[in-house]
Amino acid sequence: MPHPPLVAVLPTGRLLRAAAGVLRRAGLPLPEPGEADRRLRIRGGPVDLLFAKDRDVPIYVEHGVADLGVVGRDVLEEQPAHIYWPVDLGVARCRMAVARPADRPLPEPPFRIATKYTRAAARHFRSRGIPVELIPLHGAIELAPALDLADAIVDIVETGSTLRDNGLVEEETLFESSARVVVNRASFRLRADVLGPMLERLEAAAKAKAAPRP
Ligand code: PRP
């Protein structure tokens, strides 16, 4: 009997645009760029594809509805799941940073931190023994210090232009992030015959992208 295809869950949006080239090179049947395609499930190729919100990718993989997935380390740090992270695709690189107004050093703790990443921020300051008040926001975090809602923020920095344009400077990096391939723990053992070669292709495609052109 033929084996069922692997199921991969991919995040919609910015991270997928950054990783699409590497994923196609590894053989994932992604729609071609520019194709208007709003399907959330694509079947019939060598791998079944699901498209989900990035924060939901670890949940799909942990629960085994997908054998593997692609998600940023920023999401994995915020939302720990019982899954493996075997391959770093090396794309969608950014860092999680503490940033403060350029003209206002951090006050004495406890200071107020606005962030979408409350768990990562809490862990970071707890590990340094610094008391903080966390102010959870859903986006446009850079606005909070200008309105004196917060003394600083914890957020993703990619090019740095959002910080600059809002008068903020980086104080400290929590960790570097990039797109990771994540794998369900049972699939890793039980589907090793097809998953192993797939992970090798993903790793090779990521390396080919990183290699300098001759
Ligand atoms: C992310 C992040 C920063 C920005 C950083 O926001 O939260 O605001 O990108 O990128 P940069 O360093 O290249 O300027 P996103 O666009 O995802 O929207 P959000 O503010 O709603 O989170």
Can you list the alpha helix ranges (DSSP code H) found in the chain?
Answer: 14-25, 57-62, 73-78, 118-127, 143-146, 161-165, 185-190, 192-210
Q: Whole-angstrom Cα distance, residue 148 to residue 190?
A: 53
Higher pLDDT, 197 or 35: 197
φ/ψ of 25, rounded to 5, equals -60, -30
SS3 100: strand
**pLDDT tens digits, residue range 2-42?**
678 999 999 998 999 999 999 999 999 998 777 777 889 99
Determine if residue 181 is left, alpha or beta; phi over 0 gives left, psi from -120 to 50 gives alpha, anything else beta: beta
Atom of ligand 1 nearest to the CA of 94: 12
Q: Which residue among 17, 75, 93, 162 is best mutated to probe the pocket of ligand 1, counting the most ligand atoms within 8 A of its Cβ?
A: 162
How many CB atoms within 10 Å of residue 162?
Answer: 16
State if residue 118 touches ligand 1 by the CB under 6 angstroms criterion.
no
pTM: 0.92
pLDDT of the residue at 33: 73
pLDDT of the residue at 32: 79
**pLDDT tens digits, residue range 134-145?**
999 999 999 999
φ/ψ of 173, rounded to 5, equals -100, 135
Instruction: Return the closest-CA partner of residue 42 out of 53, 54, 52, 30.
Output: 30
Atom of ligand 1 nearest to the CA of 116: 22
pLDDT tier, 80 (very low <50, low <70, confident <90, very high otherwise):
confident
For residue 213, pLDDT beyond 60: no
Q: Whole-angstrom Cα distance, residue 46 to residue 80?
A: 29
What separation in Å is there between the alpha carbon of 185 and the centre of ligand 1? Answer: 32
Span 175-179, average pLDDT: 98
State if residue 139 touches ligand 1 by the CB under 6 angstroms criterion.
yes
